[in-house]
Structure 1
Amino acid sequence: MNIIYCIKGTYNSGGMERVVANKANYLVAKGHNVSIITTDQQGRLPYFPLNDNIRLYDLDINYTANASRGLFVKTRQYFQKQRLHRRRLRELLKKLKADIVISMFDHDTPFLYKIKDGSKKILEIHFSRYKRRQYGRKGLWRLADVWRSRQDLQLASQYDRFVVLTEEDCGYWGYLSNIVLIPNANSFVPETKADVTCKRVIAVGRYDYQKGFDELIGIWEMVHERCPEWRLDIFGHGPLKDQLQAQIQKLKLESSIRLRPPVRNIEKEYCQSGLLVMTSRYEGFPMTLLEAQACGLPMVTYACKCGPRDIIVDGQNGFIVAEGNKEYMVNQIVRLIEDEDMRRAMGTRAKEMSAKFSEEKVMKQWLDLFNQLVG
């Protein structure tokens, strides 16, 4: 088959970029033709390795150039870029003659399904149904988020298939007639298992509102009072780095919390940690939980929408905490810190449970879907 993925760019170290890279590499290894079409690559190299046989195209739209503009200017320029995007994408798709074209629910979503190039169109979302309302924006931006959230439902119904990551999110979309549930697969098969005797808690993600690291730093202040010999390392980058560092300094936690840059071999960092904590305000299907679980690491996470409930069985491979319940989050982290046997038992169970998300099992679901559409 000739398969195309449409995504903003492959240069970021995020979960969606890793998922697309893994799927594209898998499909090429199985003999399929795979292309990735980007809009904002700007000459940057892919963050995650891609097979040399994957064809890369950039449309040079550069939506991110408008990121700092006001609402009205940004809206006007956005529609100008949309027209350019639609024209360039239509011309390229007619040349490439794909069997399947997959949108990652980005800027092409409003028009990709309308392009008549002979391909089947799949819309794939890596966030939850209500992600726009969880940005926490105010005023006109909030109204825009509410309106776009309503539009999302209408657009999703237009595609040949709409793929979501969790059973929870299926319900939020009203079980559309074209909806399909396929989770993310494990990013890698670890060579070793986490050494849960390490006195380090790890967190991984972009430094932005979604990941809730401001919440985590406040939580860690209370953990540190009870377990001063442990430290917290947060791996990532993003716009809130300076704000998070200032919060750490204000709480005098510089010796206990470190903001670490992204690393390509994140497996090594998981395996040198005692447990993982996630305080996201929303997710789609958090790759950090999948990765930590595959490494045999116990986990403590807020029960955000969506994903944690599909990965963690409370009390078996980790703990799920009601959103915003800082006191209980602190208690569960401390509980694991003080009980090495529990960390080891949960880590072992996490490793066993990670088999559910093996690449072979998940990619079989994708190939079955592709064959169903083009067969």
Structure 2
Amino acid sequence: MKIAYVLDDLDAAGGIQAVTRAKAAALAAVPGNEVVLVAANDARRTAADLPPGVRVVTLGVNYYEDDWKGFLYVMKGILIRRRRHAEALRKTLGELEPDIVISVGQSEKFMIPRISRGRPWKTVREYHYSGTYRKDYARLQGGMRARVMAAVSDFYEFALRQGSYDATVVLTRQDMETNWKGRKGVHVIPNPCIRRTERAASLDRPRAVAVGRLVPVKGFDLLIRAWEKVAAVHPGWKLEIWGDGPEKEPLENLVREKGLERQVFLRGATPDVQEKLLQSSMLVFSSLFEGFGMVLVEAMACGVPCVAFECPCGPRDLIEPEKDGLLVPLRDTDRLAEAVIRMIEHPELRRAMGAAARKKAGLYGLDAIAHSWMDLFHALKNSENTNLS
């Protein structure tokens, strides 16, 4: 089966790129498969590192290369390059003649349905975020303008474009049941756990970690406020927040305001999240909303139990409360602190939950996720109808 993934950029360090590269390698390992990554921009680094069975085709569009020159160049990128992209993509897909074409939801997402009319291949749209992410961000930003823009964008993408792909794949059951209810052809396939290790955390260090960009959606301000209550009972326990971003200074000020300089540490970005997880005894997840929450799966794979806000979407799908982690109501810093304190004071609970989490992480291994994708691809190929239910 020939599978074509279409996206803007492969060399970027983002999560979409990392997941796409990993899935491409896993699918290419299936006998009889050929995987082609069709990138709008140059992808020299990625092309050099991919395994046999994965090919890269670049379209030479190179979005963003002139954006730094000013607003007119940004508009040029949107208007002129978008047209060039569509023309190059139409030609390339026609030459490749794939069985399956997958959009990861970037610039190509509205091109593929038009290009695919009358073509023999089946089309799949991936959503790497929840169905309400625009509205969630608009609420977080505040203001009528953000809410109106979110509503208009959602209407254009969901109302006008509904049914334009043969199948739609979302990351969580919660997202499908809440935001895609009643729509045909929607399937749940979670992201794979890319970082897999034979090691497991010892869970005996007085250390908790949180991981993510220092931006409001990650809720690190709420986590610091919760840790004030934890530190009052267990001052020897440390919280390390790994990540960088525009909220660094306000968060540092909050740490000082709460007198937590010896308990809470903003460590900056790290290239080795897995090692930080292995050196911890729990992950604390304070996001206000997510598309999936990949760091939860990464922690589980390391045998690290998670304490999380039950935010949409991700934690409810991934964590079974009282078995492999703890969930608390969104934004409830008192309950978050209580859950962390419970983990601290009951090491046997930590170990039991860590072991259960590590076992569950196997469900998100690359081979298991590739198998789910192959089931969908075969069903699409064998179906004469679009919007496979």
Provide the TM-score with structure 1 as the length reference.
0.88
Structure 1 counterpart of 2:308: 301
What residue in structure 2 maps to residue 130 of structure 1? 132
1:261 aligned partner: 269
Distance verdict in 2 for CA 1:347–1:149, change over 3 Å? same
1:350 to 1:224, Cα distance in 2 relative to 1, 3 A? same
The gaps in structure 1 that reach 5 residues or longer are none
Matched, 1:34 2:35: yes
1:165 pairs with one of 165, 171, 179: 171
Contact 2:28 / 2:35 at 8 angstroms: preserved in 1? Answer: yes
User: CA, structure 1 residues 253+75, in 2 after alignment: closer, same or farther (shift >3 Å)?
Assistant: farther
* Identity between Structure 1 and Structure 2 (%): 30
Shift in Å at residue 287 of structure 1?
A: 1.1
Alignment of 1:107 with 2:117, yes or no, is no
How far the C-alpha of 1:13 sits from its partner, in A, is 4.2
Partner of 2:9: 9
Partner of 2:107, secondary structure, is: coil
Contact 1:5 1:37 in 2 (8 A): yes
Please show how residues 279-358 of structure 1 align to structure 2 within 5 Å.
279-358=286-365
Kept in 1, the 8 Å contact 2:100–2:124? The answer is yes
- CA separation of 1:231/1:8 partners in 2, compared to 1, >3 Å: closer, same or farther? farther
Aligned to 1:51: 51
Aligned 1:223-262 pairs, distance under 5 A: 223-255=230-262, 256-262=264-270
Pairing partner for 1:371 from 371, 374, 378: 378
1:148 aligns with 2:153: yes
Q: What is the aligned partner in structure 2 of residue 362 from structure 1?
A: 369
Residue deviations 1:114-143, cap 9 Å, x none? 113542110011211100111123342331
Cα deviation for residue 355 of structure 1 reads: 2.9
| Distance in structure 1 (CA, Å) of the matches to 2:240 and 2:54 | 35
Secondary structure in 2 matching 1:111: helix
Which runs of structure 2 are paired with 1:156-195 in the superposition (5 Å)? 156-171=162-177, 172-195=179-202
1:232, distance to aligned residue in structure 2 (A): 2.0
For 2:327 and 2:92, the matched residues in 1 are separated by 45
Q: Take 1:288 and 1:244, find their aligned partners in 2: how far apart are those partners?
A: 21
User: SS state of the match for residue 122, structure 1?
Assistant: strand
TM-score by length of 2: 0.85
Against the structure 1 CA distance between its residues 122 and 354, is the aligned structure 2 distance closer, same or farther, given a 3 Å change threshold?
same
Decide whether aligned partners of structure 1 residues 52 and 220 sit closer, same or farther in structure 2, where only a CA change above 3 A counts.
farther
Offset of 1:15 from its aligned partner? Answer: 3.5
Q: Between Structure 1 and Structure 2, how many residues are aligned?
A: 372
Q: How does 1:62-101 map to 2 (within 5 A)?
A: 62-63=63-64, 78-101=78-101
Distance of aligned partners of 1:217 and 1:178 in 2 relative to their CA distance in 1, 3 Å threshold: same
Q: Which moved more, 1:136-145 or 1:285-294?
A: 136-145
What's the CA shift for 1:369?
1.1
* Residues 147 and 278 of structure 1: CA distance in aligned 2, closer, same or farther (over 3 Å): same
Question: What letter corresponds to residue 129 of structure 2 in structure 1?
Answer: F
Distance in 1 (CA, whole Å) between partners of 2:249 and 2:81 is 31
Unaligned runs of 5+ residues in structure 2 are 383-389
Moved more, 332-341 or 108-117: 108-117
Contact 1:40/1:63 (8 A) holds in 2: no
Q: Deviations over 1:162-182 (max 9, x none)?
A: 011222111211231111122
Amino acid corresponding to residue 317 of structure 1 in structure 2: D
Separation (CA, whole Å) in 1 of partners of 2:328 and 2:65: 35
Instruction: Compute the RMSD of aligned alpha carbons.
Output: 2.9
Asked if structure 1 preserves the Cα contact closer than 8 Å seen for 2:288 and 2:311, the reply is yes
Secondary structure of the 1:102 match is strand
What residue identity is the alignment partner of 1:157?
A: G
1:342 to 1:14, Cα distance in 2 relative to 1, 3 A: farther
Q: Which has the larger radius of gyration?
A: 2
8 Å CA contact retained: 1:236, 1:260: yes
C-alpha separation in 1, matches of 2:47 and 2:317: 27
- The whole-number CA distance in structure 2 between the counterparts of 1:361 and 1:63 is 36
Shift of 1:327: 1.0
Change (3 A) 1:225 1:79: farther
d(CA) in 1 for partners of 2:151 and 2:219? 21
